[in-house]
Amino acid sequence: MMKRENSNRTRIVGLRFKPEEYAKIESKFRASTCRKLSDHIRKHLFNQPIVSTYRNQSLDDLMEETIVLTSELKSIGKNINQIAKKVNSMQLIPELKQQLYLFDIIQKRLSSKLDEISNHTKKIAERWLQL
């Protein structure tokens, strides 16, 4: 069994802060990659490096726009798929049927690429939002 990192921590230090002091500490903690406030304070007290996250507003805007575009592209792909199914169920002349077959192939490629875009966007969002 793996030994817990803080199992030898037996001393407790209690501190009281003014609301604005605590808000400042909490703000710095939330901007860091520390999972617990106690870890953040401990690193600060012992002059250990604290990794801060950096949010780039333009990248946030790009992510939001990409998600909206991906959603719109998926809707278009679904509409194309519905049209293809409807047309394939009709009685058609051979030349038109051949064109519809090619249309169906292109639609499947589009759907595949939309799935790739969606998966890629999810990966970027998970990394960026640190989910």
Q: Quick one: pLDDT at residue 33?
A: 78
Q: Quick one: pLDDT at residue 18?
A: 93
Residue with tokens 């249309």: 103
Q: Quick one: pLDDT at residue 113?
A: 84
Specify whether the CB–CB gap between 45 and 27 falls below 8 A: no
Alpha carbon distance 50, 36 (integer Å)? 12
Find the length of the chain. 131
pTM for the predicted model, two decimal places: 0.41
**Which ranges of the chain have pLDDT less than 70?**
1-6, 53-57, 60, 92, 128-131
Specify whether the CB–CB gap between 38 and 29 falls below 8 A: no
